[in-house]
Amino acid sequence: MSKIKVKIPATTANMGPGFDTLGMALKLYNEIEVEETYTETEIYNDNVKSSDDYKDNLIYKSIINALDRFHYKYNGFKINVIKCDIPMSRGLGSSAACIVGGVSAANVIMGNRLTIEEIISIATDIEGHPDNVVPAVVGGMVVSINEDGMVNYSKISMPGQLKFAAMIPEFEVSTELSRKVLPEFYKKQDCIFNISRATMLVSSLYNEDFNSLRMCFDDKIHQPYRNKLINNLDSIFAKSKELGSVGEFISGSGSTLMAVLNKDEDNFVNKMGEFLNQLDDRWKIILLKPDMEGVKVM
């Protein structure tokens, strides 16, 4: 079998009030090559063989998860990560990219027997929640509902002029830790707070009402509890507002912070970069646009 090349976008999830439901694909990519072999599996990073156990590799585990569901017989694979621009454990969907890449490659190995909905279902089952998986598959900004293993989703209109400044620190925040800090129960008024802002966020984007976005990105379900895991969050958000962003949020479970921009993007990046350089943790800033296409198999 010839090599299967898969290009997978980064994703940002939650986007303020949309905990475990809202996500968006971004123009930052990982690329993998997968080739079915008759020998034991080997993992490569840019053609350099990895010393890690292939059985722990998330791409490999996602491939065989999909193949085993359909009783496809295999011996092994050569998996080559030829591009890895999505930082690990930074809230930009690195695990979803591995999973979606693996399931998409498995689909080609099986003769493209899976529908988009089946790819999403398998990948969500592996990941545990759909907010990163769905936009990684279909692109754009998406609201997703996982009900009894069935994922329903709908794309949200995203104004073309909006861009996203990702502020990425040196330190990681694990998804497991970020979920442990969340309370088991919430007050009714906090739930109402989030419902109102999540629905207003969708409306504001559709109507290109940028004046409402800052209020819409506010949240009481996860960000107030996770901000203690991210050094200098309050000062970075304050500086973002000062420099003209229309809203800010924690990307996924962190540690990346996201500022939403609709003008003066270059000035924002330059000034915020200067500010971040004064902080600990070696922050970097990159300007990203939404990816509207999702995973590509080449």
pLDDT at 176: 82
Torsion sign, CA atoms 241, 245, 249, 252:
negative
| Average pLDDT score over residue span 89-118 | 96
Average pLDDT across the chain, whole number: 94
The confidence band for 9, taking pLDDT boundaries of 50, 70 and 90, is: very high
Residue 276 forms beta bridges with which residues? none
Measured CA to CA, the distance from residue 96 to residue 93 in angstroms comes to 5
The answer to whether the annotation marks 95 as part of a ligand binding site is yes
For the chain, the distance separating the N- and C-terminal CA atoms, rounded to the nearest angstrom, is: 14
The answer to whether the annotation marks 96 as part of a ligand binding site is yes
Peptide bond into 94 cis (omega under 30): no
pLDDT at 52: 82
- Torsion over CA of 256, 116, 34 and 87, rounded to 10 degrees? 0
Q: Which of 165, 162, 160, 163 is nearest to 269 (CA)?
A: 165
The answer to whether the annotation marks 204 as part of a ligand binding site is no
State the pTM of this model: 0.94
Coil, helix or strand at residue 198: helix
The answer to whether the annotation marks 93 as part of a ligand binding site is yes
The confidence band for 264, taking pLDDT boundaries of 50, 70 and 90, is: confident
pLDDT at 177: 83
- Whose tokens are 């993998």? That residue is 32
- pLDDT tens for 75-100 read 999 999 999 999 998 999 999 999 99
| Average pLDDT score over residue span 43-69 | 92
205 vs 264 pLDDT, higher one: 205
> Domains of the chain (ranges plus CATH)?
4-156+293-297 (3.30.230.10), 163-288 (3.30.70.890)
| Per-residue 3-state assignment (H helix, E strand, C coil) for 148-197 | CCEEEEEEECCCCCCEEEEEECCCCCCHHHHHHCCCCCCCHHHHHHHHHH
The confidence band for 25, taking pLDDT boundaries of 50, 70 and 90, is: very high
pLDDT at 288: 97
By residue count, the chain amounts to: 298
- Torsion over CA of 207, 258, 287 and 128, rounded to 10 degrees? -90
Torsion sign, CA atoms 103, 107, 109, 110:
positive
The answer to whether the annotation marks 252 as part of a ligand binding site is no
Q: How far is CA 170 from the centre of its chain?
A: 18
Left if phi > 0, otherwise alpha if psi is -120 to 50, otherwise beta: which for 71? left
- Whose tokens are 């995203």? That residue is 158
The confidence band for 154, taking pLDDT boundaries of 50, 70 and 90, is: very high
73 vs 46 pLDDT, higher one: 73
| Average pLDDT score over residue span 175-200 | 93
pLDDT of 263 over the 90 cut: no
Measured CA to CA, the distance from residue 86 to residue 166 in angstroms comes to 12
pLDDT at 46: 87
pLDDT at 174: 80
The answer to whether the annotation marks 298 as part of a ligand binding site is no
| Average pLDDT score over residue span 170-199 | 92
The confidence band for 1, taking pLDDT boundaries of 50, 70 and 90, is: low
In percent, the amount of the chain with pLDDT more than 70 equals 100
